[in-house]
Amino acid sequence: MSKILKRFKSVVSLLGEFWAFMRMQKKWWLAPLIVILILMGILIIVTEGSALAPFIYAIF
């Protein structure tokens, strides 16, 4: 269980550092790009091996 907690803490730390970078450097245009990349990644993982796969890969 400790291994999972360490991984979660590292992900939260990374997100916190990214948020601080965007806030300090005024790079707000990065937020929509990151959100879209994360959503597309989740979509590909969730629909892996399904009937939607040909349509998803056609996007790229």
**What tens digit of pLDDT does each residue of 7-59 get?**
888 888 888 898 899 889 988 888 898 889 888 888 878 777 667 667 766 77
The angle subtended at Cα 29 by Cα 23 and Cα 32, nearest 5°, is 105
Assess contact for 53 and 47: CB atoms under 8 A: yes
pLDDT-derived band at 60 (thresholds 50, 70, 90) equals low
* Residue bearing the bigger pLDDT, 60 or 32: 32
Q: What is the pLDDT of residue 36?
A: 92
Average pLDDT, the chain: 82
Q: Give 31's Cβ-side CA count (13 Å radius).
A: 9
Q: What is the pLDDT of residue 8?
A: 82
Measured in degrees and rounded to the nearest 5, phi and psi for residue 49 equal 80, 10
Q: Give 5's Cβ-side CA count (13 Å radius).
A: 2
Assess contact for 16 and 9: CB atoms under 8 A: no
